[in-house]
Amino acid sequence: MPDRDEETGRYTGEYSTEDFLNAISAEDGLAGTGDIADRVGCAHDTAYKRLQRLEKKGLVSSRKVGNTLLWTSTKIDNG
């Protein structure tokens, strides 16, 4: 059974970390929050919060370009 977010009470884990990393990869390694949300199939806010958590874990990094936050994966693919 999925876990619930303690703050919102919503279920977490609906979208995997790999979903987000794959979405960034599919956008040539640099993607805006909205593009990632569209690819993953989740709300913009959901994507933003998940990407923030992934950034704290060191899996992605972000940079502000104009009014857009762009994300890139920091995960090294040794495959």
**48 in a domain, yes or no?**
yes
Query: CA distances (Å), 25 to each of 5, 74, 75, in order?
Result: 27, 11, 11
Mean pLDDT of the chain: 86
**9 in a domain, yes or no?**
no
- Total domain count for the chain? 1
Domain span at 68: 17-73
Q: What is the pLDDT of residues 1-24, one digit of tens each?
A: 345 555 666 655 589 999 999 999
The reported pTM is 0.77
**54 in a domain, yes or no?**
yes
CATH number at residue 54: 1.10.10.10
| Strand order through the sheet with 68-73 | 31-32, 68-73, 60-65
**66 in a domain, yes or no?**
yes
**3 in a domain, yes or no?**
no
